[in-house]
Structure formats: C-alpha cells, structure tokens
Amino acid sequence: MTISRFLKDLGLVHHQGRKAVWLAATGSTFLLLAGCNSLPDSGPTEYQVKKDQRDPKKNSVGYGIVQISPDLITLLQSEAPPLFSSLSTDETPTYNNNDRVGPGDILQVSIYEVGSALFSPNTGSMGSTGTSPMPGTSTASHLPLLSVDGSGNIEVPFAGQIHVADMTTNQVADAILTRLKQKSQAPQVLVRIATDIANSVMVYGGVRHPSRVMLTPNRERILDIIALAGGEEQQTHADEDYVVRLTRHNRIAELPLKTIENEPAQNIVMQPGDRVQLTFQPRSFTVFGASGHVTQMQFTTPTLTMAEAVSRVGGPIDSRADPNAVYLFRFENADVMRRLGMPVDNNASTAPVIYQLDMINPSSYFLAQEFMMRDGDIIYIANAASNKFYKFFGLITTIISPGTSMGGMAK
C-alpha cells in the first residue's frame, strides 16, 4: 500500500497529486502528535515531572527533586531519629528511686513489742492467750494493709497520720517507731511495700502480657520491661517491624525495637510512671509506573536498599520505561531538607521530596545499593517519552490492519 493510498483510506486526501500527499502527510503528523497526548498512560515522563515541579499551581505540596549522589547517601546515613537517650537526661520525677514509697502504694506494717503489747489482739495488756505476757517475751502484730493516699500520707493506729511519700521502707519504719516510743515498750517496726504502684510502668500493645510492671532497686531497662511482659506477640516477624513508643513527662519518642537492641545507649533505665507501647508495624513500599509489577510490598528483611526494592518488582520494563528517571517519593526530615538547601517551613517536621536515580549511569547501581528504603516510600519508574508515539502507532496499525487484509483478499 502506498502513502497516498493509506492517506486516502484515512480520508486525509482525495486525489493522487504529490503536493496533496505531502500536505496530507504533514497534517497527519500534527494529528499524530495531538493523538499521542490524548492516549492513556501509567504516569508522567521525566519532562513532565520536572516541568510540574517548577509550576507552583501544580506543585501544591512544594516538593523538590534531588539527584541521588554519594553526598546525599552520606547525609541520610548521618541522620539520627529522636532517641530515648535524650529523654533520660530530662528532669526526673519526685519518686525517681525504685525503692521509695509513693501515692497509691499499699504498705504492710508489722510491729514487735516486748511485755505489754499495745497492738495485742486482746483488750488491755493481756496477750493473745488472755494472760499477761511473760517479761522479755515479744509479741508480733500485723496491722491491716495501709494505703498511701494522694497526699503521700498513711494513718497508723496510736501514731496518727504520717507523711511517707518519697521515703524508703526503712525510713517509714523509723517514722512510725518515733511515734510509738512513748506508747509501747521497746517497739520494733518492719515495713514492706505490698503493692507498688508508684514504682511501676505500664506496658501494652504488641506484647504477650500487657500489664503494670513493678520496678525494683535493680533499675530495670526498657528491654527488661518488654521481656517481663512476655516479649513480642508476633515473634515470627523481624524486630525491625516492631516500634517502641515511650511516653515520659508528656514527651514521646519512638524507635524500632532493633535499634534499641543494637545500641545499648538507647536501652535506658525505666522511671516510675513511664508508659511503653510496643506496636507491630510491617514496613512496606509501593511501586508505580513502567515497572514489571505495580504493587505494594513488605520489606520482609531487616533492611532493604533501593536496588533490592526495584529488583523485587522486575525492574524497569524495556519497552516502556525511561531508566534515567527512576524516582523515589518520600516525606523527608525537615532538617535534612534544610541541609540540602530546600525551602522548608520553620514549623514543619517533614517536607516532600523526590529522589531521582539515573540507571543509565553504571555508578548509580552502586548508589542504589547504599540508598536505604524506609517505610511508606513510593518508587515511580517514569515512562519513556517515545512510549506514546509507539502506542499511538500501534493503535493506528490495529485500526487499518483489518482493512488492509480485506483489501488484499478482494484483489
């Protein structure tokens, strides 16, 4: 089939003159270009991404584009998340020692007396047998459990109200003994904490036994508390998929469980009143565009590089992708963005950014092995600029092929 016959079949020319054929062919070129823009596609090209980034109307979130480079890798590797060690330097609460009495505690008080017992279960000075105790014989009396009220006080029979908050059990015993010396013969007092509320932490979330864990003078650390609560509920998953959320003095910090295990400085000593939440958060990333597989995938490994993430989905498709325009979309730490020279709002904690990897450049494959993926990252592999032309050409071929075949059969 000649060009003139092809154009005539499309209705672009009605006679065989060379001038008419040239004019019709020129017109068909403009139609072809117009048709390409109207065809569906899986996403923008590199040109469109960069063009829209410069357009304030289309770039409403204010993202920037940064090439992945060795300097960028170094900067990202030096970034430090909020650490638990920063919370341990804060002002400690009033009841900062794990052997101190505090509001809500329940105390067991035992009093030993010689001779006439003030706290004898019988009236008067009679012992438990109804007769006067022998001289030199001691009598033990266990008082009903005493609750420390919100003001830090307890009420002891014959001794009255005593302020015991922030005292050790030995100090509480001495305070009671001082009040009883003028009322009992050679009294001795022993005090222990039966229920320790003030020296406890709450552990909940993805642990096997969510509960209140009592602290001891041994000064338990955060991994100790998680272990005492039974450890992770889903022990078949990587520790990187667990996040520890610590609340202290109305301040909150989060770290992956694996970070605390690997960095002893983050395994901080627990303080009374701390709240520890263990959350199972499977990390995932999403891939769009001209890749072998558009999907959302979980990390399934402790760490994941960009090279590994791209390969998991089959990499760029040869027939559609633009290998020098592999993008990673992320909300990056605001401090990192400022160090990259990007405009960031002073009150913002994160800012949107697009990292670009040029997979035509062989050195980029080494960079992709060092660029670490994060939870929620989006990888987009841009379409090649020529993709629309070939798609439109294929559409035209599909339309005219049946006619061409029928024409050949008619001849």
pLDDT in tens, 119-162: 765 544 434 444 455 555 677 888 999 999 999 999 998 889 99
d(C-alpha 103, C-alpha 196), whole Å? 9
Strands (E), 232-384: 242-248, 251-256, 275-280, 284-289, 295-298, 321-333, 350-357, 378-383
Cα distances (Å, whole numbers) of residue 22 to 11, 18, 34, 47: 14, 6, 19, 31
- State the average pLDDT over residues 38-57: 81
Q: How far is CA 239 from CA 209, 232, 275, in A?
A: 18, 9, 20
Contact 222, 276 (CB under 8 A): yes
pLDDT of residue 10: 45
Is the pLDDT at 95 greater than 50, yes or no?
Answer: no
pLDDT for the residue 389: 43
155 three-state secondary structure = strand
Q: Is a pLDDT exceeding 50 seen at residue 354? A: yes
Least trusted range by pLDDT, from 53-57, 80-84, 228-232: 80-84
Mean pLDDT of 36-52: 75
Given a cut of 50, whether residue 393 has pLDDT beyond it is no
**Is 90 exceeded by the pLDDT of residue 267?**
yes
pLDDT number for residue 68: 95
Surface-to-core class of residue 278, CB atoms within 10 Å of its CB (0-12 exposed, 13-18 middle, 19+ buried): buried
Q: Enter the DSSP assignment of 234.
A: -
pLDDT tens across 99-122, in order?
789 899 999 999 988 776 677 655
- What confidence score (pLDDT) does residue 41 get? 61
pLDDT category of residue 182 using cuts at 50, 70 and 90: confident
pLDDT of residue 97: 66
Instruction: Give the global pTM.
Output: 0.59
Rounded to whole angstroms, the Cα distance separating 7 from 94 reads 90
94 compared with 384, residue with greater pLDDT: 384
Q: Reply yes or no on whether the pLDDT at 16 is more than 70.
A: no
Give SS3 for 320: coil
| Alpha helix ranges (H) inside 281-333 | 306-312
pLDDT at 320: 84
pLDDT band at 44 (very low <50, low <70, confident <90, very high): confident
Q: What percent of the chain has pLDDT over 90?
A: 42
| Average pLDDT for 269-287 | 92
Q: What is the pLDDT of residue 250?
A: 84
Query: What pLDDT is recorded for position 237?
Result: 74
The yes-or-no verdict on residue 333 having pLDDT over 50 is yes
What pLDDT score does 401 carry? 59
Mean model confidence pLDDT for the chain: 80
pLDDT category, 301, cuts 50, 70, 90?
confident
pLDDT(350) > 80: yes
Least confident of 81-85, 258-262, 377-381: 81-85
Contact at 8 Å (CB) between 172 and 107? yes
Encoding tokens for residue 73? 């890798």
